[in-house]
Chain A
């Protein structure tokens, strides 16, 4: 793990510690995906979050917001101090991201299966306005159990939204346990292909590979793109990796935080 990925994970731990709670495992699988998006791909202006031609990003798996908050704060959308107040009374940042309160948040999420269709509406609106902006939607894998995702998937293809990209954080674990056990998504790439999408797969923690594949958008003219990111839930902390009990912690102990900080420095 390089220094930038470590730095962002430190900020995630800050937010986790600040709030004393959070969907930690689900956030950690997203770190490199969001890092590459915000460092290299998205055209955004942290000092002008409403810039009309900005690329739109929706974290449809809103529970992964600790990482998004870390990245947004690191980019300067809001002060890093806000991370330390996450979930506290009257804080800017809550357990799920809200558009009304947080600069850089395009849609309030937390109820799964909403983000794609909102993104489709944004993409259609941008096309009508002849804006060069693109739309990115990150989903979870458990989130793909929601029927509404596939309603959106069909319609994005119908509208030939090649400025719309879905990133699937395929960490193979959902709340109860293994995705393959709860309801198997495989063959996942074939499913998206059958719905009319151009599909690529990538190691969702390989920064160079993410950069390379996302620099080639759209994957096909006239089709929406989906990048299936193979990730590890709890990535970076061996005691949390592949461990469903780290999906969400309603109470984070000081010992957990210390253990995470220690593991990060040794990594």
Chain B
């Protein structure tokens, strides 16, 4: 997924002279072709995220469209004031490509785990937040990113994730994609959790539970209409996210329900990471399983929520 995103920067740069790339001390040879052919639009800055965001703001003010890449935690926590004031307040079209969203860097420990990145950025006016399900959807997002008018956060997964998105479903920033028709349960996923939600829905179907799946790649601006449409036919909504239960997809969906539905709301089950610094190293999969976000864990949580009161 990262490779697709990075390669797309070069593709877009060849197409549009406004596109510039800024990295913050990335690995060797990243975007070597862009550096070779468009050296004036390729910037490899030092380990200096606050500077990088300010510089991107200046470039955007001069009409350029900066694509910035570094590790998600450093691209959010480390420079949050610059993101808020320099980018969001001015509503400038900078794109933050965040490597290792969620628990991707599990072996590296909590300094590298972006478990609250969406919460931090959701609070900032004008910021859009997108977490594609797979590499194919990443390519569609990158195409759509070029002319998005404001700041955009692009959350990368580990890579090599199963491709569950479909080209025919199209892609528009802010527009959720129904992946599986709903029954009394609708699972709402973002990022790679949508793939797991689909797999969990298969498992639930085998148990006689019909669960729909809605893919909310854009956590902000939330596709409230699609969320409410899912809610109106369901007895149970389940959000599934590789993010803290504070401030992410589950919070956004809950807020939409509270704001727009007085009564007769479905129950909302939020499957997310606990409000804690992740512990345990190992792998992304290990930590997700520990948090109940394996396919089995998701299916079991849904079945448990339906039994016995609802079913």
Contact = CB atoms under 8 A, between A and B. Distances in A.
A249 interface: no
B230 to A, nearest CB: 37
A121 B90 contact: no
Nearest to B64: A125
B199 interface: no
A117 B81 contact: no
Interface string B256-272: 00000000000000000
**Nearest 3 A-B pairs (CB), nearest first?**
A121-B58, A117-B54, A125-B62
B290 interface: no
A152 B51 contact: yes
A118 B86 contact: yes
A124 interface: yes
A122 B92 CA distance: 13
Contacts of A111: 81, 85
Nearest to A128: B40
Given A98-B89, A152-B54, 10 more contacts: A99-B90, A107-B86, A120-B55, A124-B59, A125-B58, A125-B63, A125-B64, A151-B48, A152-B51, A155-B45
Interface string A102-123: 0000111011011111111111
A121 B85 contact: no
The interface size bin for chain A is: 20 to 34
Interface in B81-108: 81-82, 85-86, 89-90
A148 B90 contact: no
Contacts of B57: 107, 117-118, 121
Given A108-B90, A111-B85, A152-B54, A118 B45 contact: no
Contacts of A115: 54
B82 to A, nearest CB: 6
A129 B62 CA distance: 9
Contacts of B89: 98, 100, 108
Interface in A112-170: 113-126, 128-129, 147-148, 151-152, 154-155
Interface string B55-91: 1111111111000000000000000011001100110
A122 B63 CA distance: 10
B62 A122 contact: yes
A172 B20 CA distance: 39
Given A122-B61, A125-B63, A154-B46, A117 B53 contact: yes
A118 B50 contact: no
Interface in B25-57: 40-41, 43, 45-46, 48, 50-57
A124 B59 CA distance: 7
9 contacts: A114-B85, A117-B55, A117-B57, A118-B86, A121-B54, A124-B58, A129-B63, A148-B50, A155-B46
Contacts, number: 96
Contacts of A121: 54-62
Given A99-B90, A154-B48, A148 B59 contact: no
A111 B50 CA distance: 12
B86 A114 contact: yes
A126 B59 CA distance: 9
A154 B58 CA distance: 17
B225 to A, nearest CB: 30
A147 B58 CA distance: 19
A118 B64 contact: no
A125 to B, nearest CB: 3
A155 B55 contact: yes
A148 B47 CA distance: 11
B48 A155 contact: yes
B51 A148 contact: yes
Interface string A86-104: 0000000000001110000
A251 B81 CA distance: 28
B58 to A, nearest CB: 2
Given A107-B61, A122-B61, A125-B59, A147 B50 contact: yes
Contacts of A114: 54, 81-82, 85-86
A116 B54 contact: yes
Nearest to A133: B62
A120 B57 CA distance: 10
Contacts of A107: 57-58, 61, 86, 90
A120 B85 CA distance: 16
A178 B86 CA distance: 30
Given A108-B90, A155-B45, A122 B58 contact: yes
A51 to B, nearest CB: 14
A119 B58 contact: yes
Contacts of B62: 121-122, 125-126, 128-129
Nearest to A122: B58
Nearest to A110: B85
A117 B58 contact: yes
Contacts of A110: 85
A98 B52 CA distance: 21
Nearest to B94: A121
A100 B54 contact: no
Interface string B163-175: 0000000000000
A128 B41 contact: yes
Nearest to B62: A125
Contact of A108 (B48, B64, B85): B85
Contacts of A128: 40-41, 62, 64
